[in-house]
Structure 1
Amino acid sequence: MKRSLSLQEAADPNFRPLVVIELAKDAKEETKEWLIRRIMDKKRDGGAQLLIKPLQENEADHGNIYLVGASKLRLLLGAEAVGLVKEYHDGSMRTFTFTNRKDFKDFSDDQANFLTMAECQYIVKHELENLRAKDEKFIPGSQQSRLYPGKSILRRLLTSGLMVQTFPLHDAEHLKRLGHTWYGTVRLGYQPLDDIRCYFGETIALYFAFLEYFTFALIPMAIIGIPYYLFAWEDYDKYVLFASFNLLWSTAILEVWKRFCAGMAYRWGTLMMKREFEEPRPAFHGVLGSNPVTGREEPVYSSLKRQLRIYLVSVPFVCLCLYLSLYVMMIYFDLELWALAFHQEHQSEMSNLMLFVPSIIYAIVIEIMNRLYRYAVEFLTSWENHRLESSYQNHLILKVLVFNFLNCFASLFYIAFVLHDMKLLRQSLATLLITSQILNQFMEALLPFWLQKRHYKKLKRTMKYLKVDGDLSLVQQVSLEKEMGTYVGTFDDYLELFLQFGYVSLFSCVYPLAAIFAVLNNVTELYSDALKMCRVFKRPFAEPSASIGVWQLAFETMSVISVVTNCALIGMSPQVNSLFQDSKTDLILIVVAVEHALLAMKFIMAFVIPDHPYEIRMKLARMEFESLEALKQKQDYCTTKGYLKFWKMLKAILFPDAFKYK
């Protein structure tokens, strides 16, 4: 049998495989040759100027799999093009430029440790996604796959079925070390966030950082909730103190997180990355035009058409789904009335258990509706044809959050402020929280564990079939990785934490064990998510991020709602009502005044407390000052050079004989 190449080898010893492209088995040779040529063509000719090779030559089974890499020079130029920020020789973080490459820390001519494998894969992905059609009318070898100027080539290959997938390769040795320190040992310490960032990129590292931070932030709520639950189980008069603490807690943790996040982002070099000239997303389509700012060729799509799609189609669809959610909620309350009547009639253990059945059924229905709605709005948001990935994500998250918030919390608001039934509120909150966590643990812990076991069995069969001892060859590694699941991103993970934050901050004063269940769930989530990333899913492409993005705004909005909710609960408590027996109007006015004062205090705190620590603000200010000084020096140099050139031309005109023989 012909020996396969190892991960560090290829036919060309300078070729380092970074990304895998798998084409369909029925893809024609004409299509393959065209794609290879476009990937290898120079940038000025519309290509990506990358290196590409088949996985294994003279092997029919692997004739549709290609490895993509890049030369060291191409990667350095790509690092400048995408705006990577690296550590300078003086310890500051600066945007990388090729001309000043030797002034950056750890740079060497062999480029051994300067760019991580994740950064190299991000650069290759950026170049592949910006491969766009120019004069082609269709994909060669597939006339039904239409092209037009500006259309993303990889996107068209995927939608036409000519490309199966594209994914970055794992680094087996690095992954093994990371897995051992991350989830291989049970410990109470912190996660190796810097190692996670180096391997998976900043977006995923920030998610795990936020998950860890949020879990630790829940511990004070859990500690206070235990004695409160033990000594005030049926005494609803005592939730005023817990609600008051809830107000301070929900505000403080988000302000502290922003400072903590800024420190990590600066250390990782993403706090200064420029996003003003973000490239169009691969799914964006339109006629080929030019960017009015950069002058680069890119698709152009009418903003009016996009707005019409949003307000005439997407908004009515979301409103219809919200109405359906409220209709299902009313069915749930009918079931609650039926269960209560059944219990009052029979007064048995069975009838007592029946009281929880409507809430359990409703929690399951909520999860099903949330998932179905998610698929629908993903299609709608993609159909709206947003130019930037950030805009697409913002519109998608807004649609999902509005529905999920109403779907998950509308019944609790109705019970608290319409029915005024605190006992039913506690029962419903506990049932919704615990049921949703059980379902999520099944999907995110038990299911990945089963997939890992299945993956190991497939690995053993493959190694036995190929008679492999020791490390896997490159062919075997790619063959195994291409069958692994695809990580779809952090959207669902953040959404779960957002809903969990809502359950804890809005109504946990009537069920103080909510924080304890959240801590237990998140500890399990830390290990299950780490296992999934390392052993179950393909390696995702690294994506630079300076924060958790629009999710920060979502959590802050939830904290504002929690202020209103907890103030209303305090105003409804018998303790407070006993002080205003003569005039309920005075009570309402005082509650509203306190609520506005707390909101004002919250916004003042957000304004007064800087998002960036003092040290980082000084470093950023110094960098801006140095950039302005460098720009002034460049302008002075150009002005002086222009004067000298003008004076030389003037002397040549006035004294032509003096320059005749020069």
Structure 2
Amino acid sequence: MIKRGIYSCAFPPHEGPSKIPADKPAHQLNSRQVLHKYWARWSRWHKYQPLEHIREYFGEKVAFYYAFIGHYTTWLVPASVMGVGVFVYGCCTLRDNVIVQETCHSHNEFKMCPLCDDKDSESCKYWYLSDMCGYILISYLFDNHGTLVYSMFASFWACCFLESWKRQSAILASRWDMVDYIEMQERARPEYTSKCTEFAEDPITGLIEPHFSHAKRLPRLLVGLLSLLFLMFLSVCCLLLMLLFRAVVTAAMFKNKLFRSAALSVANTTSASANFLLVLMLEYLCYYVAFGTTEWEMHRTQTEFENQVIIKVFLFELFNYYLSISYTAFFKANLAGKPGDYNRLFGSRFVECLNGSCMFELTQYLAIIFIFNQLFAQASELLYPKLCLLLHRGSVGFPAEQKNSSKQWESDFALIPYQNGLFWEYLEAVMQFGFVTLFVPAFPLAPLFALINNLVEIRLDARKLVLETRRPRPERAQSIGIWFSMLKFIAYLATISNATLMAFTSEFLPTTVYTMLYNKGLEGYKNFTLNFAPPNTTSEPCRYNGGFSQHQHSEFYWKLMAARIILTLSFQQVVFAVSRLVSWAIPDVPSQVENRNQRQKYLARKSLIDRDILGRRFKRVDFFA
């Protein structure tokens, strides 16, 4: 009816004004005022959320989201403490690290090959490794011996958090009488029934209903899949564009002596910032493409429709956000090449990692993407509703003086419509969980930033929901739905990525093997890792970071490769084994809740039996009468 223009909008009204009277006691406040006073205030940031009031006012679906985000934020506390501990450990042991000291005090010992190709130009100079002392210092803060411990902790933390949430979800479902709630009887979407041209008998109800066959839906599903693949192709193009941009900026800055030491850092920062903007553009494009193709696929119920949109957007977001990060973590160090044989992209050299491994570049990239994403999300949450409110009131011609109208529906009509449900909130939380678990050894401070963000996010969303938007239509729910499967998938990927990151990107294993074979104090490690440029490839002898290519087929090379494979496999298997053990040892439903659920089912069956017996007795009396 709304889409046909018969009604302009439809919404349940709020229960009175949101302004809290100064002379009213708490028990006389309406539900909206209670939520405003005890939930939607900045001063309540350290308090638990009033979930029962949220559920009573907005319904179980909204309440489950805020229960999840509150539970997740609480679990971020130990992860933040551990991450800060690893960072502090790096700060405390910085002065004692031999690699840092050798690099910073090497002076003119290690002459490095130019980062640009103009070897005959006066502007393209050779440089010394000691020029990058600050770069090496910061790199050690995030890549030290505590990193392995933290990567293991993060994988176990993700497993335990998901198990804990399953139990909490079961408790809330039992408390809110949602245990036996099923969506089998969910009505068909109006968009589905209005566009169906065929009818068929429902196998469950036996009723004749609008029907769209699977044979007709399959080609449309393929079109949706191709659309998703095309968006992923655009994401790859953005990555190539970012790599080209980084190479050009690095070469240009390296030619300037004043900016030479900061060339890579500035190039990484600017390219990561530009990539973040491209990621945001593709994110919103993906949502509209996913929504349009899913609408065309003709899914019967709203749940089926939402799940398909969620799957499409989630898969693309996972690819879109982590493509450039994965490149930096696993491929960048091996693509630069060597003097005389550099790999190129459209004529520009691939930028190498100054420290041999790309751990610091990964840290820098993760920090920029993660923090910028949170700042953008918070700014959007803060400013977008207010802007929409002004535009909405202007578009409907609603007088400002009627904001405090005596009629509640008139006051609510001036508020912005509640759209898209909790889709963006859940997506933001799930992607944040990815940043906190995936690649977390490179940025152990991510949980701390996530914790601070969520404390602000909860109150910001609460204010928007209570004060700035129309009241959403209450919906029932048994859990957070398909989003939990997304979290489990990310936790599984996190174990694989963290194991691979520690084995192939971090300096942990190379330094460990070096101490076992050559020097327990790590003296000479930097000289050992730097390669000499091949003869006749440069105008002067120089060194470059080529990994351990000059030590190929040596004892060190094979032992390092064996250690990497052993660490990768053992890390994954230990985490997976412990995860299965925790899942087996901790039941998804607490015993008290299970007993309560069984008790309720027993009473329900007993009530039906008693009613059936009572009905038979009345029939018998009527028969003899």
Verify same fold: TM over 0.5. yes
Give the 3 Å change call, closer, same or farther, for CA 455–180 of structure 1 in structure 2.
Answer: farther
- 1:590: Cα distance to partner? 4.8
**Deviation of 1:240 (Å):** 0.9
Query: Partners in 1 of 2:173 and 2:392 — Cα distance?
Result: 35
One of 408, 418, 433 as aligned partner of 2:321 = 408
Matched, 1:339 2:276: no
Instruction: State the secondary structure of the residue aligned to 2:416.
Output: coil
Q: State the TM-score, normalized to the length of structure 1.
A: 0.68
Matching residue within 572, 576, 589 for 2:509? 576
* 1:418/1:308 CA distance change after superposition, 3 Å: same
Q: Are 2:364 and 1:427 equivalent residues in the alignment?
A: yes
Deviation at 1:343, TM superposition (A): 2.9
Secondary structure, counterpart of 1:356 in structure 2: helix
Does 2:185 match 1:277? yes
From 44, 54, 58, the equivalent of 1:196 is 54
Residue in structure 2 matched with residue 479 of structure 1 by the alignment: 410
- Which of the residues 214, 232, 238 maps onto 1:303? 214
For 1:308 and 1:601, how far apart are their aligned partners in 2? 43
The 1-side partners of 2:320 and 2:441 are apart by: 21
Q: Deviations over 1:591-630 (max 9, x none)?
A: 2243134223323422442211111111222233344455
Deviation at 1:195, TM superposition (A): 0.7
Partner of 1:591: 568
Partner of 1:538, secondary structure, is coil
Is the 1:364–1:436 Cα contact (8 Å) retained in structure 2?
A: no
Count of aligned residue pairs for this structure pair:
485
Amino acid at match of 1:485: I
**Per-residue deviation at 1:193?**
1.1
| Residue 179 (str. 1) matches residue 36 (str. 2) | yes
Q: Distance in 1 between matches of 2:8 and 2:468?
A: 19
Q: 2:235 maps to which residue?
A: 325
Structure 1 range deviating more: 268-277 or 522-531: 268-277
**CA 292–640 in structure 1, closer or farther in 2 if over 3 Å, else same:** farther
Q: Could you report, residue by residue, the CA deviation over 1:365-423 in whole angstroms, capped at 9, with x for unpaired residues? A: 10111011101110111111111222112111110011000000111111111124111
Point out which structure has higher relative CO (alpha carbons under 8 A, 6+ apart): 2
TM-score, with length taken from structure 2: 0.72
- Flag the 1:193–1:630 CA change in 2: closer, same or farther, 3 A: closer
Structure 1, residues 311-366: CA drift from partner, whole Å, max 9, x if none?
Answer: 2x111111111111112112112222222223322243585545411110110110
Partner of 1:624: 601
2:4 match: 160
Greater mean deviation of Cα atoms: 276-285 or 315-324: 276-285
Contact 1:250-1:505 at 8 Å conserved across structures: yes
Residue number in structure 1 paired with 2:170: 262
Q: Which residues in structure 2 correspond to 1:458-537 (within 5 Å)?
A: 462=399, 464=401, 472-474=405-407, 477-488=408-419, 489-537=421-469
Give the drift of 1:486. 1.6
Letter of the aligned partner of 1:601 in structure 2?
V
State the Cα distance separating 1:281 from its structure 2 match. 2.3
Q: Would you say the 8 A contact 1:364–1:435 is kept in 2?
A: no
Q: Percent identity?
A: 26
The separation in 2 between residues aligned to 1:257 and 1:402, in whole angstroms, is: 23
Is the 8 Å Cα contact of residues 448 and 528 (structure 1) preserved in structure 2?
A: no
| Map of 1:374 onto structure 2 | 287
Deviations 1:13-46 (A, max 9, x none): xxxxxxxxxxxxxxxxxxxxxxxxxxxxxxxxxx
After superposition, the CA RMSD in angstroms is 3.0
User: Structure 2 counterpart of 1:182, which letter?
Assistant: W
CA distance, structure 2, for counterparts of residue 195 and residue 644 of structure 1: 49
Work out the CA distance in 2 between the residues paired with 1:449 and 1:483: 12
User: Residues 70-469 of structure 1 correspond to what in structure 2 (within 5 A)?
Assistant: 157-172=1-16, 173-184=30-41, 186-187=43-44, 188-232=46-90, 233-235=138-140, 236-238=143-145, 239-285=147-193, 286=196, 287-311=198-222, 313-348=223-258, 353-420=266-333, 421-449=358-386, 462=399, 464=401
Using the alignment, how far apart are the partners of 2:489 and 2:301 within structure 1?
24
Give structure 1 stretches of 5+ with no counterpart: 1-156, 649-661
Contact 1:314 1:380 in 2 (8 A): yes
Contact 2:438 2:497 in 1 (8 A): yes
Letter in 2 for 1:434: I
Distance 1:228 1:452, change over 3 A: farther
- In structure 2, distance between residues paired with 1:329 and 1:409: 11
Distance in 2 (CA, whole Å) between partners of 1:298 and 1:492 is 33
Q: Matches of 1:455 and 1:324 in 2, distance apart?
A: 34
Where does structure 2 lack aligned partners over 5 or more consecutive residues? 17-29, 91-137, 334-357, 517-555
Q: Show CA shifts across 1:278-315 (max 9, x none).
A: 2222322224444321234532221221223112x111
Corresponding residue SS for 1:283: helix
Task: Give yes or no for the alignment of 1:544 onto 2:476.
Answer: yes
Matched residues in 1 for 2:186 and 2:217: separation? 19
Structure 1 residues 463 and 433: CA distance shift in structure 2, 3 A: closer
Q: Tell me the secondary structure at the aligned position of residue 435 of structure 1.
A: helix
Contact 2:148 2:502 in 1 (8 A): yes
SS of 1:549's equivalent in the other structure is coil
Q: 1:289 to 1:644 in 2, by over 3 A?
A: farther
Call closer, same or farther: CA 1:456–1:325 in 2, change over 3 Å: closer
Q: 1:82-114 deviations in whole A, cap 9, x for unaligned?
A: xxxxxxxxxxxxxxxxxxxxxxxxxxxxxxxxx
For residues 200-224 of structure 1, the C-alpha deviation after alignment (integer angstroms, 9 at most, x for no partner) is 1111111111111111211222222
- Maintained 8 Å contact 1:255/1:609: yes
Q: Which residue identity does 1:364 align to in structure 2?
A: L
Quick check: 601-610 or 320-329, which moved more? 601-610
Moved more, 288-297 or 243-252: 288-297
Structure 1's 542 and 371: CA in aligned 2 closer, same or farther, altered over 3 A? same
Distance 1:401 1:638 in 2: 54
SS at match of 1:168: coil
- What is the CA–CA distance in structure 1 between the aligned matches of 2:200 and 2:596, rounded to whole Å? 39
Over 3 Å counting, the alpha-carbon distance change for 1:320 and 1:203 in structure 2 is: same
- On the 8 A contact 2:389/2:416 being kept in 1, the answer is no
Aligned mates of 1:387, 1:452 — CA distance in 2: 33
Counterpart in 1 of 2:520?
none
Residues 339, 355 of structure 1: 8 Å contact kept: no
CA contact (8 A) 2:268 2:365 kept: no
Give the 3-state SS of the residue equivalent to 2:8 in structure 1.
strand
Tell me: CA distance 1:462–1:158, structure 2 relative to 1, closer, same or farther (3 Å): closer
Shift of 1:185: 5.3
Q: Which amino acid aligns with 2:228?
A: V
SS at match of 2:43: coil
Distance verdict in 2 for CA 1:453–1:164, change over 3 Å: closer
Mark the CA change 1:182 to 1:637 in structure 2 (over 3 Å): closer, same or farther.
closer
Q: Partners in 1 of 2:276 and 2:471 — Cα distance?
A: 33
